Amino acid sequence: MKDFQIPVERFVLPNGLRVVLSRDNSVPVVAVYLLFDVGSRVEVEGKTGFAHLFEHMMFQGSDNAPKGMHFQWIESNGGTMNGSTHWDYTDYYEVLPSNQLALGLWLEADRMRGLAVTQENLDNQRDAVKQERLMSFDNQPYATALLERWPEVAYRNWQNSHSLIGSFEDLDAASVEDVHHFFRTYYAPNNAVLTISGDFDSAEARRMVEEYFGDIPPQPQPTRRSLEEPAWEEPIWTRVEDPLAQVPAVIVGYPGPKRRSDDYFTLVLLDMVLTAGESSRLFQALVKDQQSLIQFEAALGWPFASSIDYREPGRYSFFLLHNPAFTAEQIRQQLETELQRVATEGVGEDEMLRARAMLRSSRVSQMQSCLSRGMTIGRYELFDGDPNLVNEDLQRLLRVEASEIQDLAGRLFRRDQQAVLEVAPGAAAAAAAMEEV
């Protein structure tokens, strides 16, 4: 593994901004990536959707970059940009020609220092969030089940179980002062991580970061509400009907381990054995042989996270889109059979070799993009306080043994720890799907 060594430099500004640099001069491109330690799980009851709303607000202009100019300046200089809201963080990025690094840093610093929080911007972005919800979620099959109902089934703590998108009622009730307070609390330098990856000079990058971000004042650290989940004592099964779904689906979830624990690393390899590619256990048994599954996906933290940005508590969950000739209970039983096979029979050395090779290939490929590299080291800094773990975790994953996988499967895949959400298509769609079988 000597060929996998990502260069990492880390420093902290006096105002608390954590900065991570990863230099790669092979291509004249640089990525600026900024994470704020705020996602939907920090929200309070009655003010849901603020994390997502604020992602939109961040593109409405700042003291020296009027509305629309952030996009215009980045694109006119050959770059791309975007932002996204997650369970545990909100992030923003610019990918630019390397000679435009200063532009990306200046724009991010300007909106961290002086975002245009006005009633007009709040009103139009509140409407934009509503339209996004209607078009991208409420009008899409399975989306409401995944993002609204699954958290309610899988979690008991409100911090974990409420909607990432938020309610229209809460958005309508949001005031400019509410938004100002949210900005002051969470969009402070001491609640953020900045990464720069790609083609740059380290000394010059550090100078620019200090110049552009150094005078932004810190804020008191926000109070963090407990995310701890109560003990799970019995399985739960909930059924919902989705009129937009054409075929049925089942979501099955099990409690996830503590981040970077032994079980965490073992589960990442176990997931590769079960779900990675057409040679995986689930594909071979349920898609190819029994022809009960149409498609599937699984992840630690699904659908809100992956193993890289996973923060406990979370669940290891399977989304199983299935042949309507099979019932949801049959699908659950078929899944359990395959999971118990791992617990009772273990996995072969050929499976371990395949899982390790696929994992290594995906992680190495991920580091070849300056943006994905910056995202990865930024998340290690945010969640673990150590971006150098990017160089350690792959080696730790590749040391997982077949015996550890078998042991974990026996402890993890228990019926009494199971959460299940059955997604049934509307009556008309279900009848049509059955006719095609």
pLDDT reported for residue 278: 95
In a domain, 218, yes or no: no
pLDDT reported for residue 427: 62
pLDDT reported for residue 69: 94
In a domain, 230, yes or no: no
Residue 173 shares a structural domain with residue 47:
yes
The band of 138, judged by pLDDT with boundaries at 50, 70 and 90, is confident
pLDDT reported for residue 134: 80
∠ CA 223-48-147, nearest 5°, is 115
Q: How far apart are CA 30 and CA 197, in angstroms?
A: 6
pLDDT reported for residue 219: 96
Burial of 114 (0-12, 13-18, 19+ CB in 10 A): middle
pLDDT reported for residue 1: 42
Q: Which of 12, 72, 17 is nearest to 192 (CA)?
A: 17
∠ CA 126-130-131, nearest 5°, is 115
Stronger pLDDT, 429 or 198, i.e. the higher one:
198
In a domain, 221, yes or no: no
Q: How far apart are CA 86 and CA 171, in angstroms?
A: 18
Q: Which amino acid appears at position 290 of this protein?
A: Q
Percent of residues, the chain, with pLDDT higher than 70:
97
Q: Report the chain's mean pLDDT, rounded to a whole number.
A: 94
Percent of residues, the chain, with pLDDT higher than 90:
89
The band of 325, judged by pLDDT with boundaries at 50, 70 and 90, is very high
Residue 200 shares a structural domain with residue 288:
no
Residue 255 shares a structural domain with residue 162:
no
Burial of 368 (0-12, 13-18, 19+ CB in 10 A): exposed
The band of 342, judged by pLDDT with boundaries at 50, 70 and 90, is very high
The band of 232, judged by pLDDT with boundaries at 50, 70 and 90, is confident
192: its two tokens: 């953020």
State mean pLDDT over 224-231.
92
In a domain, 223, yes or no: no
Residue 299 shares a structural domain with residue 340:
yes
Residue 276 shares a structural domain with residue 397:
yes
56: its two tokens: 């939109």
State mean pLDDT over 384-402.
96
Angle between helices 328-345 and 262-275 (to 10 degrees): 120
The band of 129, judged by pLDDT with boundaries at 50, 70 and 90, is confident
Residue 196 shares a structural domain with residue 259:
no
pLDDT in tens, 26-85: 999 999 999 999 999 999 999 999 999 999 999 999 999 999 999 999 999 999 999 999
Is pTM beyond 0.85? Reply is yes
Residue 123 shares a structural domain with residue 174:
yes
Are 259 and 314 within 8 A, CB to CB? no
Is the model's pLDDT at 430 over the cut of 70?
no
Is the model's pLDDT at 436 over the cut of 80?
no
pLDDT reported for residue 133: 81
Residue 376 shares a structural domain with residue 418:
yes
Q: How far apart are CA 378 and CA 90, in angstroms?
A: 12
pLDDT reported for residue 376: 97
Residue 146 shares a structural domain with residue 271:
no
Kind plus residue range of the DSSP H or E element containing 28: none
Lowest mean per-residue pLDDT among 126-130, 178-182, 431-435: 431-435
pLDDT reported for residue 228: 95
Are 297 and 351 within 8 A, CB to CB? no
In a domain, 225, yes or no: no
State mean pLDDT over 120-136.
87
pLDDT reported for residue 40: 95
Residue 284 shares a structural domain with residue 403:
yes
> What CATH number corresponds to the domain at position 181?
3.30.830.10
276 SS3 class: coil
Number of structural domains (the chain) is 2
What is the domain range of residue 147? 9-213
In a domain, 69, yes or no: yes
pLDDT in tens, 264-296: 999 999 999 999 999 999 999 999 999 999 999
In a domain, 406, yes or no: yes
In a domain, 404, yes or no: yes
Residue 392 shares a structural domain with residue 267:
yes
Residue 274 shares a structural domain with residue 410:
yes
State mean pLDDT over 191-195.
98
